[in-house]
Amino acid sequence: MGHVLAVCTGQTVPYARGSISGIAKQARSGPVFCSVLGLAGDAQGDLRVHGGPDKAVHHYASEHYAAWRQELGASAVLDAPAAFGENLHSVGLTESDVCLGDQVRVGEALLEVSQARQPCWKLNERFGRTDMARQLQNTRRTGWYYRVLEEGALWAGAELLLQERPHPQWSMARLLDVLYRPSLDAAELRAALALPLPPNWERLIARRLDSGAVESWASRLEGPAA
């Protein structure tokens, strides 16, 4: 499927608008142990919405960086891996190549694609743009999360080896389109609800079907008042 270019971790620090964040990560050298709660040396600032077993590892495609440079212009943030706070920075696969439930061997660890990413306002602060989180969502270049089925070390240069694909019709690109299109598609939402989604996504889809409307994204994408 491709291979890992960088394994990235970071500790939490005071961030914008009185928050705490671990979005500013750095590439690590050598093997990094991956447990069911994520990579050794990595942390998340708000555990209500980040981290946990269903968001243990975030993966982002290096292929997207060229598109961002073209659209945003020169940006020091894009000069190194982990511009988007990702743990795995790879080449060889994007949201179109990965499906929900894929089991991927990375070094010694066995990872399972668990869910899409919900971009938040902290990306706006990181890039110095008020619309960065919204752009990430609109372009569907969000990356994806894994849960960890087998713990073990992983490292830069490790191959991404597909072990199982139980839902080949549900690429992350399709799932992202269902989640982030502004109009409600009840048939696609019902189909998605039949998937083994984490509880937060099940609740979101059920609310949409019950209400017949897509929820507001303003607080997540724009954040609290500066």
Query: Over the stretch 165-183, which tens digit does the pLDDT of each residue have?
Result: 999 999 999 999 999 998 8
Contact 28, 85 (CB under 8 A): no
Q: What is the mean pLDDT of each run of 10 residues along the chain (226 residues)?
A: 96 89 94 97 78 93 97 94 97 97 98 95 95 97 97 98 98 95 92 93 94 94 83
The pLDDT value recorded for residue 47 is: 65
User: Which of 2.40.33.20, 2.60.260.20, 3.40.50.150, 3.10.50.30 would CATH assign to domain 2-170?
Assistant: 2.40.33.20
Query: Over the stretch 209-221, which tens digit does the pLDDT of each residue have?
Result: 999 999 999 999 9
Q: For residue 179, give both structure tokens.
A: 């989640």
pTM of the model: 0.94
Which helix (H) or strand (E) covers residue 201, if one does? Answer: helix 199-211
Write down the domain spans for the chain: 2-170
DSSP sequence for 63-88: HHHHHHHHHH---GGGGSS-TT--SE
